[in-house]
């Protein structure tokens, strides 16, 4: 048995995922997939997007067990995405002090500044409807929509959205702003 994984969160990997899916589709029948050239890798963003960046957020914003066996148990119990448990096992050794400033609610209180919520319309992990609902749940928010695919604008850049995110503490994007992604899944 061949095991394979594909990351639906990164649009730049969708073409190679399609090749993989075609190979998996034809493998049981013994058919040979037609050769398809793998796409060249997309240029990396101009900022660091390593695993530590995600861990800093996950470990500080959520309760995480200190015992590594708890991650193994969570991965074994998951039928949907056991990798989700393993993606955060670094939190077992993360400084507990990192979470001391974590806000745990209430979520319906006015804030001194507007909270910018960014949502991709085609995000396979964090559906856009949840971003829209969050922007209504929180009291003082602005929703910035990215008309595109994949999980987050960090993995699937939109110059328009990045400019709005970087400058939102000075100037909010206009209500109803929709930004396009820099690349499409299948050019």
pLDDT of residue 114: 92
Cβ proximity of 91 and 129 under 8 Å:
no
Distance, CA of 123 to CA of 164 (rounded, Å): 19
User: Rounded mean pLDDT of 123-149?
Assistant: 91
Lookup: tokens for 119: 């949502």
**In sequence order, what are the beta bridge partners of 144?**
118
pLDDT of residue 1: 44
pLDDT band at residue 43 under the 50/70/90 scheme: low
pLDDT of residue 128: 94
Say which residue the tokens 């994949």 belong to: 150
Main-chain dihedrals φ then ψ at residue 151, nearest 5 degrees = -100, 115
Whether the model pTM is above 0.75: no
What angle (nearest 5°) sits at the alpha carbon of residue 87, between those of residues 86 and 91? 90
Lookup: tokens for 115: 């909270």
Sheet holding 141-149, edge to edge: 115-122, 141-149, 178-180
């Amino acid at each position: 048995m061949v095991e394979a994984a594909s990351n639906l969160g990164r649009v730049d990997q969708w073409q190679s995922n399609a090749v993989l899916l075609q190979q998996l589709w034809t493998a049981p029948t013994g058919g040979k997939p037609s050769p398809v050239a793998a796409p060249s890798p997309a240029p990396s963003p101009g900022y660091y997007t390593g695993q530590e960046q995600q861990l800093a957020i996950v470990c500080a914003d959520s309760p995480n067990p200190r015992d590594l066996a708890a991650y193994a148990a969570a991965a074994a119990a998951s039928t949907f995405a056991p990798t989700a448990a393993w993606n955060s096992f670094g939190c077992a050794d993360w400084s507990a002090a990192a979470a001391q400033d974590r806000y745990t609610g209430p979520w319906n209180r006015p804030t001194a500044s507007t909270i910018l919520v960014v949502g991709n319309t085609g995000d396979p992990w964090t559906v856009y409807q949840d971003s829209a609902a969050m922007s209504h749940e929180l009291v003082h928010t602005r929703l910035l929509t990215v008309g595109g695919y994949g999980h987050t604008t960090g993995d699937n850049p939109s110059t328009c959205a990045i400019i709005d995110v970087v400058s939102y503490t000075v100037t909010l994007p206009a209500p109803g702003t929709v930004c396009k992604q820099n690349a499409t899944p299948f050019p």
